[in-house]
Amino acid sequence: MVNIKASKGLLLLMIICAACLGATGQLLFKFGVKSGISFVYLLPGIAAYAISTAIYFVVLSRSHLSWTYGLNGVSYVLTVLLALVFLHETIPVLRWAGVAVIAIGAALVGFS
């Protein structure tokens, strides 16, 4: 395992990229099933999710599981934001509170 301090910035950037791709994959999945199982959305969604997973594996191979998995919460935060913007979902206050807790938790894990 590589010293996490030496390459922490790069690993953090990679996990954020993985989270963005994972959240994008979820959005494309939703579009795909919403339009009657449209492979126009599902296939790119699967590709985005697969690339996200591959990046996650690389980060995981170079860092601690507790750090890497803790930062995975960023993907949930991004997915909620994408659902709000692109799907026009109504996000209840209690869910926003949960998203805030997850974001704070992921930030604390990231800085640890």
Identify the DSSP state of 69: H
Asked if residue 40 has pLDDT above 90, the reply is yes
Q: How do residues 13-25 score in pLDDT, each as one tens digit? A: 999 999 999 999 9
Structural contact between residues 29 and 82, judged by C-beta atoms closer than 8 angstroms:
no
For residue 99, the tally of other CB atoms under 10 A from its CB is 18
Q: How do residues 50-79 score in pLDDT, each as one tens digit? A: 999 999 999 999 999 999 998 989 999 999
Cα separation, 106 vs 22, in Å, equals 16
Cα separation, 68 vs 47, in Å, equals 21
Residue 11 phi/psi, 5-degree rounding, is -65, -40
Joined tokens for residue 27: 């959005």
For residue 109, how far is the Cα from the chain centroid?
Answer: 15
Query: pTM of the prediction?
Result: 0.88
Cα separation, 17 vs 48, in Å, equals 11
